[in-house]
Structure 1
Amino acid sequence: MHTPEEHISLNKYISSTGFCSRREADKLIEQGRVSINGKTVKTGARVKDHDSVAIDGEPVKGSKKARPVYIVLNKPVGVTSTTDPKDKTNIIYFLDYPKRIFPIGRLDKDSDGLILLTNDGDIVNKILRASNNHEKEYIVSVNKPITPEFVTSMSNGIPMLGTVTNKCYVKQEGNKRFRIILTQGLNRQIRRMCEYLGYDVMKLTRVRVMNIKLEDLPSGKWRYLTNPEIDKLNDLVATSTKTEVAPTTSTARKKESKPKPASTETKRPQHTPSKKKSSFKEFRNNNRKK
């Protein structure tokens, strides 16, 4: 996999095994859960060809990269898009998938809808890169009637977190509901944008990420991406540059984007986890009955 005595960054090494993304690897290192040759290491550590890397005491074998798994989940409200084992509402406990996978990006605990999970660290790095301008589409319900001024302001950019949001596509779809397509990933961006204009978000559902659509996937259920979806996804990120640092909430992008229609693909049959886990099982089971 690597030439003899080649030194590579620890987070890159962990990502290359398919265990998690570089950003998740950085978190594991910061939490003191990663060791090299039995010694806990800090951020910035490097790995040699014959070093033994372990996470929570379990060896990570770089010679056996996990087979890529690509999953789309309709995340219910109340599930946290983190892999932190201390958080019993985390998405990994909820999904209970038999292989190690991790979410691509985040979806707020009080939001629902489409979130992708995978064990392909490379594609995660490409999708999360700030300059890639990959589209994410949401349906949002607010607490009072939407005005033309609201739509115009949301479309043209809102001051927040020391910057101004990029221009984006916004379309009113009801008295108190609108559709928005973003290419940014600022912290709680839509909620902050609405709040700036005097609106409270009552419901926020992500319905698309790039070419992957939520469509009629029930809340709490998941499915594998189809081969055409995976091929298209790889095409969309083919020119993306991998990065060790995910986008920050203070990074403003210069490019503007226009909405593009996503292709419709045939879905595989839905799957439900077969195994229950942790004190979170009651919440998880309630969602599965919907």
Structure 2
Amino acid sequence: MNQSERSEPQRLAKRLAAQVPCSRRDAELYIAGGFVRVDGAVVEEPMARVNDAQVVTLDAKARLEPLVPITLIWHKPAGQAVPEAEFLPDELAARWLAPGTRFKGDRSGVRPLKAHGHRLLPVSPLEPEASGLMVFTQNPGVRRKVTDGSSPLEHEWLVEVQNDPELDDAARREAVLQSLGKLLFFEGTSLPSARASWQSERRLRLAIKGTLPGQVDFLAERAGLKLAGVRRLRLGRIGLDGLPAGQWRYLAAQERF
């Protein structure tokens, strides 16, 4: 091989495989796992190009293991629209789920990787004006579990209503609860009734199994309420638990919906 051929940039995975040595597949796993540095900086793209002058190192604690699909929860801010697509676009994942917006109270022990921002499935998306708990997962099984119509998970909502003098009347407030708790036929489907309670003079808590998009708005309209805000607090056994708006965390291995 002549000098010009040696200086031609090559794929990082090929360079690492020859350097370790190991198979090309193993080299790709090391790189995607965040265990490889080029000139001291972590590079997680196996197809990245490196030249002979660059120093490639493998972390001494590198583990050869396949990437495990992750699930995370995000506190969606009100007014943020989630695209109607099978997967969250990578550019939005990079913006919404950036390392700087990861919840400092995350106790999952998961080491963040760029690969975690690819092929994320939105689960039970919220409408643009709503806020609260959103789930993204790389595991289709998690999505099936959360959206299983035969065994629907309970969604807990905090509903803020606009100021209405009529709500100062105890009878009117009780009538609202009665309306919210009635059997619901929504979009041609019979749905479980909501459990509702007043948390304050202008705040309601709703617990509904298998909530569909638009269902909370429909219930409020049927009860004669004008909404000022809707926030999902919990999906099954997973709640926001102090997660600030705009921040996210990984779902720990022991957590279940």
Percent identical: 22
Distance of 2:149 and 2:224 partners within structure 1:
28
Specify the code of the residue in structure 2 equivalent to 1:177: R
The aligned length equals 166
Distance 1:217 1:205 in 2: 13
Gapped regions of structure 1 (runs ≥ 5): 1-63, 234-290
CA distance in 2, matches of 1:114, 1:125: 17
Contact 2:97 2:248 in 1 (8 A): no
CA distance in 1, matches of 2:68, 2:83: 21
Structure 1 pair 94–151 and aligned structure 2 pair: CA distance change class (3 A): farther
Tell me what 2:231 maps to.
205
Distance 2:66 2:206 in 1: 37
Residues 130, 216 of structure 1: alpha-carbon distance in 2 compared, 3 angstrom cutoff: same
* 2:62 corresponds to 1:67: no
Letter matched to residue 109 of structure 1: P
Taking only aligned residues, the RMSD between alpha carbons, in angstroms, comes to 2.6
1:14-53 equivalences under 5 Å are: none
Distance 2:77 2:217 in 1: 18
Match of 2:218 in 1: 192
Residue-by-residue CA offset, 1:129-152 (whole Å, 9 max, x unaligned):
211121111100112326101101
Matches within 5 A, 1:126-165: 126-143=145-162, 144=164, 145=167, 147-165=173-191
TM-score, structure 1 normalization: 0.52
* Amino acid aligned to 1:194: A
> Secondary structure of the residue that 1:116 maps to in structure 2?
strand
Between the aligned partners of 2:227 and 2:252, the Cα distance in structure 1 is 33
Q: Secondary structure at the match of 1:156?
A: coil
One-letter identity of the residue aligned with 1:134: L
Aligned residue number for residue 82 of structure 1: 83
The within-5 A match list for 1:100-111 is: 100=118, 101-111=120-130
Question: Residues 121 and 143 of structure 2 are in contact (CA less than 8 Å); yes or no, is this contact kept in structure 1?
Answer: no
Equivalents in 1 of 2:94, 2:197: separation in Å?
Answer: 36
Whether the aligned pair in 1 keeps the contact of 2:156 and 2:235 (CA below 8 Å) is yes
Question: Residue 179 of structure 2 contacts residue 222 of structure 2 at CA under 8 Å; is this kept in 1?
Answer: no
Q: CA deviation at 1:164?
A: 4.5
Kindly report which structure 2 residues correspond to 1:278-289, keeping only aligned pairs within 5 A, or say none: none
Provide the rounded CA distance (Å) in 2 between the counterparts of 1:227 and 1:126.
15
TM-score (norm 2): 0.58
